[in-house]
A and B are shown apart, each in its own frame.
Chain A
Amino acid sequence: MSAASNLLNGPQTLGQGRAFWSGAAAVLALALVYPAFVDSYDVGSSAYFLCWVFMALGLCLMWGYGGMMSFGQTFFFGVGGYGYGVIEIYLGVAHGGALASLVAALLVSGLAAALIGYFMIYGRIGGMFFGIVTFAITLALAFFLNQTAGPEWHIGAARLNGFNGMQGMDPLALPWFGGDIDLEGTPFYYFVLALLIVVYLLLRMLVNSRFGNVLVAIREDSLRAELLGYDTRRYLLVTFVIGSMLGGLSGALYCSWGQFISPSSIGLPAAAMPVVWVAFSGRSDVTATLVGTLLLIAGFQALTIYSEQWALVLMGILLAGTVLLAPDGLIVSLANALARRRARGRAVLEPSLAER
């Protein structure tokens, strides 16, 4: 137990100690009772926002901790989403078929990530080139899927259906004694929330573990880490696979939520969104990414609803302004400011004590 708590509170994550965890528990309690106080639309909407956070967390792991700026999160989003659709249509929803499809979609995106990651990481592609290669792969997939309109493009009974997007898959369902529980509306919200908590805690433990420390060492100085005897490429590859699978998880959940996926979720401008979320929030920390991404997605949504044509202008100003004023990302900068303030408060307090 204490080992787990050490991992949760290690050096690579912001937010430690009793204050943070009681705050987190309060937020979690709010999230748990929230569906009781709002209508079904708001619950569904919140579940939809939560769906996107996984791919932001994945990117945070790769980029913030591992130094790999992947523009390919929507590639894996697409693999996961289309994968879920194709497999679910093949298996059917009954007897845990949908859940198995989710797992299978994750495995497929993990496999794709392993192949692409091997090609890049073992080919020593790094820095900005990593971003460009993942970006090119992502665009190529979007171009390819766009032109799969014809009936010849099908996998099993599932038609890819080109630009218009794939349809006909069922939403997730949990096999349960005496009948499946369809994961729609409130059950889906709780399902995604539970997944998010698990993923968040596991990521915290991962980055604070020995693995995480080596990863950060590679980010800081890859040559030195290698000379110390670590096989840096293996660490990076594992990180890339985990981060990309989280992109796939987002895609599969999105596909289950709306029973639809189309290539525009993969190409531009969708591909830039995870990068924007993570950079805005502060890529160096998982908690910051979690909070910032949710704020940003919900904020964009509200702007779009209430300001019509001005929404994109306001978003642009908001983004540029935040980055100029908060260089480490909004949430990380806020957290740092808070920490500094507390430290200063203590510093001021101590001499006054001494005077007394």
Chain B
Amino acid sequence: MLADSFSYFYQFADVFAFLVLSAAGLAIIFGMMGIINLAHGEFIMCGVYVTSAAYHAGLPLPLAQACGAIAAGLIGMLLEVTIIRPLYSRPLDSLLVTWGISLVATQGTLIALGSTFPGIDMPGHSFSVGDYSFSSYRMVLFAASLCVLGFVYVLFMRTRFGVHARATMQNPGMAQALGVRKGLIYAVSFGIGTGLAGLCGALYAPTMNLIPTMGTSFLVEAFVTVVVGGANVLLGTAPAAIALGIIRTGLNAWYGQVVGEIGLLIAVILIIRVLPDGFSGWLTRRSS
């Protein structure tokens, strides 16, 4: 009995972590900044590849993972300054540009590094509850997803940078007039977004097969979570991940992964139909 209830929690935690970690970076870039970033998966892939390279160069895994996140963040800032900046007023164009970037990134990686990349040893051990044995690393992922949610909340709600960033996203002209360095804020926010994508890749690197197109397996879940979350990502992402996590876990457990996958998509459609502003819109409306 205990084993079974823990097993449900573990499955839920696993899906929740996957949704939060894959969506967190996109929530900032798409949710806050309005850039439809189809290269999101490639920033995740970048995190994975840098992590693996650093790990095989001899760094301990957590350091290698930090390298992965930082590398993705820096590349993101560079891209923001060079390519993304003219696109804030043209969100639909950002879709094409980032799709182009994603093509260049995946195919360029394939040409430069080959069709596969060496994997990483899975860290940690397993533990048993009743008949089941579980991977401890999955619990690390769950903890990491909670930390990421906390980090994003504190960063944007409790720091000076966060206040400036939110002000700039809402009214760039006014923020600039008040002395906020708009360009820097945009670059850093974008970098944090891609850095979180890189972190997602870094964290999942030991659990996956490494190929240049691996980022796409995160993309659908990421977009779906952000959209269901709604415009206010700080409020929306967590409840969206909880709701979708419960739906996905239940369907997976009782009907298998196919129904889980299709059911998730249908749930998204229904949620949008009922809550057109996503969870955050609903929460804001209720509180006001």
The answer to whether any beta carbons of A and B sit under 8 Å apart in the complex is yes
A128 near B276 with CB under 8 A, answer no
Interface mask (B99-136 → A, CB under 8 Å = 1, otherwise 0): 11111111110110000000000000000000000000
Within 8 Å of chain B (Cβ to Cβ): is A225?
A: no
Other-chain residue from A140, A272, A275 in contact with B266 (beta carbon distance below 8 A) = A140
Instruction: Report the bound CA distance from A303 to B168 in whole Å.
Output: 42
Residues of B within 8 A of A275 (CB): 95
Instruction: Report the bound CA distance from A280 to B227 in whole Å.
Output: 25
Among residues 76 to 110 in chain B, which have CB atoms less than 8 Å away from a CB atom of chain A? 83, 86, 90-93, 95-97, 99-108, 110
Within 8 Å of chain B (Cβ to Cβ): is A324?
A: yes
Other-chain residue from A133, A144, A280 in contact with B269 (beta carbon distance below 8 A) = A133
Interface mask (A306-323 → B, CB under 8 Å = 1, otherwise 0): 000110110111111101
Residues of A within 8 A of B4 (CB): none
Residues of A within 8 A of B38 (CB): 272
A276 near B107 with CB under 8 A, answer no
User: Interface range on chain B: under 10, 10 to 19, 20 to 34, or 35 or more?
Assistant: 35 or more
Other-chain residue from A120, A137, A144, A319 in contact with B100 (beta carbon distance below 8 A) = A319
Residues of A within 8 A of B258 (CB): 143, 147
Instruction: Report the bound CA distance from A269 to B105 in whole Å.
Output: 15
Residue of B with least CB distance to A319: B100
Within 8 Å of chain A (Cβ to Cβ): is B175?
A: no
B220 near A139 with CB under 8 A, answer yes
Within 8 Å of chain B (Cβ to Cβ): is A196?
A: no
Instruction: Report the bound CA distance from A310 to B182 in whole Å.
Output: 37
Among residues 245 to 285 in chain A, which have CB atoms less than 8 Å away from a CB atom of chain B? 268, 272, 275-276, 279-280
Other-chain residue from B83, B96, B216, B269 in contact with A136 (beta carbon distance below 8 A) = B269
Give the size of the chain A interface in residues (CB under 8 angstroms): 39
B269 near A320 with CB under 8 A, answer no
B273 near A309 with CB under 8 A, answer no
What does DSSP make chain B's interface, helix, strand, loop or mixed? Answer: helix
Other-chain residue from B95, B102, B265 in contact with A140 (beta carbon distance below 8 A) = B265
Residues of A within 8 A of B106 (CB): 312
Given that A129-B272, A268-B216, A324-B83 are contacting pairs, would A136 and B107 also be in contact in the complex, using a CB cutoff of 8 Å?
A: no
Residue of B with least CB distance to A269: B216
Instruction: Report the bound CA distance from A125 to B83 in whole Å.
Output: 31
Interface mask (B250-264 → A, CB under 8 Å = 1, otherwise 0): 000000001001100
B223 near A323 with CB under 8 A, answer no
Looking at B90, B99, B111, B276, the one whose CB has the most chain A CB atoms below 10 A away is B99
Among residues 119 to 178 in chain A, which have CB atoms less than 8 Å away from a CB atom of chain B? 119-120, 123-126, 128-129, 132-133, 135-137, 139-140, 143-144, 147
A137 near B97 with CB under 8 A, answer no
A309 near B110 with CB under 8 A, answer yes
A272 near B269 with CB under 8 A, answer no
Other-chain residue from B36, B93, B107, B223 in contact with A312 (beta carbon distance below 8 A) = B107
Within 8 Å of chain A (Cβ to Cβ): is B185?
A: no
Other-chain residue from B83, B216, B265 in contact with A137 (beta carbon distance below 8 A) = B265
Within 8 Å of chain B (Cβ to Cβ): is A86?
A: no
Within 8 Å of chain A (Cβ to Cβ): is B75?
A: no
Within 8 Å of chain B (Cβ to Cβ): is A69?
A: yes
Residues of B within 8 A of A319 (CB): 96-97, 99-100, 103
Within 8 Å of chain A (Cβ to Cβ): is B224?
A: yes
Residues of B within 8 A of A11 (CB): none
B96 near A320 with CB under 8 A, answer yes
Residues of B within 8 A of A323 (CB): 93, 96-97, 100
Q: How far is the CB of B250 from chain A (nearest CB, A)?
A: 17
Looking at A143, A313, A323, the one whose CB has the most chain B CB atoms below 10 A away is A323
Q: Which 6 A-B pairs have the closest CB atoms?
A: A316-B103, A320-B100, A316-B104, A319-B100, A312-B107, A316-B100
A residues whose Cβ falls under 8 Å from a Cβ of B: 69, 119-120, 123-126, 128-129, 132-133, 135-137, 139-140, 143-144, 147, 268, 272, 275-276, 279-280, 309-310, 312-313, 315-321, 323-324, 327
List 28 contacting pairs A-B, 8 Å CB cutoff, sorted by A: A119-B273, A125-B276, A129-B276, A132-B268, A133-B269, A135-B223, A140-B266, A143-B258, A143-B261, A143-B265, A147-B258, A268-B220, A272-B38, A272-B99, A279-B95, A280-B96, A309-B111, A312-B106, A315-B103, A316-B99, A316-B101, A316-B103, A316-B104, A316-B105, A316-B107, A321-B100, A323-B100, A324-B83
Task: Add 4 more A-B contacts to A129-B272, A144-B262, A313-B104 (CB < 8 A).
Answer: A123-B276, A268-B216, A318-B100, A327-B90
